[in-house]
Amino acid sequence: MKVLVIGGDGYCGWATALHLSNRGYEVGILDNLVRRHWDAQLGVDTLTPIASIHHRVQHWQNLTGKKIELFVGDITDYDFLSKALRQFAPEAIVHFGEQRSAPYSMIDREHAVLTQVNNVVGTLNILYAMKEDFPDCHLVKLGTMGEYGTPNIDIEEGYITIEHNGRKDTLPYPKQPGSFYHLSKVHDSHNIHFACRIWGLRATDLNQGVVYGVLTEETGMDELLINRLDYDGVFGTALNRFCIQAAIGHPLTVYGKGSQTRGFLDIRDTVRCIEISLNNPASAGEFRVFNQFTEQFSILDLALMVKKAGSALGLNVEVQNLANPRVELEEHYFNAKNTKLIDLGLQPHYLSESLLDSLLNFSVKYKQRIDEQQILPKVTWRK
């Protein structure tokens, strides 16, 4: 199968592109490298020293003999996108290519607008390009569990059956996202659903939870294939940040009480979930939604797990409750369904002491690259 990975220079995209290439898919990467630019603008950097995309792809070919075709450009530029698609002729598109940080989208008006234009226009362009030239292509789009927010009822996978005034229907699940970034994903979901209804396109929206970990079978093969690992207050995510903080003796930054609960998954499961979705495509006209996470944890529980694992390795780990820079419920009900990918064959890697040990040891290995000034959150929702 020919698969174009949009956003293939990023954290999830790079791991996925290599995973698919290793399993015999014919892979292309399309990316405008803007994430590297945003890091440079903010003065932050990945913990790990990632090679340039050209170098990475060339090294993968030298090592395995497998070629990954590269398209450097922006999906908000329709001419570029449409030419790249015609050249590569994908049977499936995996779309990771968005601005994905909630704090980045909440910096100010410019960053909120940039996030929504980049994400919503990029996805809309993909839908139009598919309609024009590749109506049978399967779109696998990365959404987020944060589209749902934290409702006081169970979270279903995309749709909910409601009885109202004696009538019954199955409707898109209500969305209450917590940032302009998370909102951009809701707008995407609506646009994709509409395109499937009117043009008969096929799409899978993967509402992914927070991803943790860095090594996959392929990115661990060689230092030059190493994946990015973000730890800063804008792009770093909860568990990865806690492990890196523990490695340098920085108190773990739990926002508020830490009882906020989210869905999480190992990056090794991200790449498998994409492969499973590709192998079991949505039908023509179908807008399918899977909740892509394997376990639910409160933020405080995660911090305490990292503290325990760190202490066992001789690290001095403290947990600090910081004033929450976000506006979010800290005490809430959270019970999300996640059976659809498991029914299709996902065998989860559950969070284990050995994973925490390896992430902690990995963080210690690169700790001289950490800029401590970038750890505390500087963006607030309240301004």
Q: Taking a C-beta distance cutoff of 8 angstroms, is the pair 78, 36 a contact?
A: no
Closest CA relative to residue 248, chosen from 318, 300, 322, 312: 318
Catalytic residue among 48, 144, 219, 261: 144
Q: Considering beta carbons, is residue 117 or 171 the nearer one to ligand NAD?
A: 117
Q: Taking a C-beta distance cutoff of 8 angstroms, is the pair 263, 348 a contact?
A: no
Burial-class residue 350 by CB neighbours within 10 Å (0-12, 13-18, 19+): exposed
Residue 52 CB, nearest approach to ligand NAD (Å): 12
Q: Which residues bind ligand NAD (CB under 6 A)?
A: 7, 9-13, 31-35, 74-76, 96-100, 118, 122, 142, 144, 208, 210-211, 228, 237
Q: Considering beta carbons, is residue 121 or 248 the nearer one to ligand NAD?
A: 121
Q: Considering beta carbons, is residue 47 or 238 the nearer one to ligand USQ?
A: 238
Residue 254 CB, nearest approach to ligand USQ (Å): 5
Picked from ligand NAD, ligand USQ, none, the partner binding residue 366 (CB below 5 to 8 A depending on kind) is none
Residue 68 CB, nearest approach to ligand USQ (Å): 24
Which residue sits closest to ligand NAD, CB atoms considered?
10
Q: What are phi and psi of 232, to 5 degrees?
A: -75, 165
Residue 122 CB, nearest approach to ligand NAD (Å): 5
Compute the half-sphere exposure of residue 60: CA atoms within 13 Å on the CB side of its CA: 30
How would DSSP label each residue in 223-240? GGGPPP---STTT--HHH
Q: Taking a C-beta distance cutoff of 8 angstroms, is the pair 260, 329 a contact?
A: yes
CA 235-237-243 angle, to 5 degrees, is: 120
Catalytic residue list contains 219 = no
Neighbours of 73 (CB within 10 A): 15
Catalytic residue among 25, 104, 148, 181: 181
Q: Which residues bind ligand USQ (CB under 6 A)?
A: 100-102, 144-146, 182, 209-210, 237-238, 241, 253-255, 258, 260, 262-263, 299, 326, 328
Q: Considering beta carbons, is residue 8 or 146 the nearer one to ligand USQ?
A: 146
Q: How far apart are the first and last CA of the chain?
A: 48
Can you say how many angstroms the Cα of residue 66 is from the centroid of all Cα atoms in its chain?
Answer: 25
Catalytic residue list contains 144 = yes
Picked from ligand NAD, ligand USQ, none, the partner binding residue 328 (CB below 5 to 8 A depending on kind) is ligand USQ
Catalytic residue among 25, 150, 185, 219: 185
Picked from ligand NAD, ligand USQ, none, the partner binding residue 238 (CB below 5 to 8 A depending on kind) is ligand USQ
Residue 152 CB, nearest approach to ligand NAD (Å): 23
Residue 148 CB, nearest approach to ligand USQ (Å): 8
Residue with token string 């305490």: 304
Q: Considering beta carbons, is residue 195 or 299 the nearer one to ligand USQ?
A: 299
Picked from ligand NAD, ligand USQ, none, the partner binding residue 326 (CB below 5 to 8 A depending on kind) is ligand USQ
Picked from ligand NAD, ligand USQ, none, the partner binding residue 203 (CB below 5 to 8 A depending on kind) is none
Alpha-carbon gap, residue 287 to 8, rounded angstroms:
23
Q: Which helix (H) or strand (E) holds 196?
A: helix 180-199
Packing angle of the helix pair 122-133, 78-88 (nearest 10 deg): 50
How would DSSP label each residue in 5-65? EETTTSHHHHHHHHHHHHTT-EEEEEE--HHHHHHHHHT---SS-PPPHHHHHHHHHHHHS
Catalytic residue list contains 365 = no
Residue 316 CB, nearest approach to ligand NAD (Å): 27
Picked from ligand USQ, ligand NAD, none, the partner binding residue 141 (CB below 5 to 8 A depending on kind) is none
Picked from ligand USQ, ligand NAD, none, the partner binding residue 274 (CB below 5 to 8 A depending on kind) is none
- List residues with catalytic annotation: 144, 181, 185
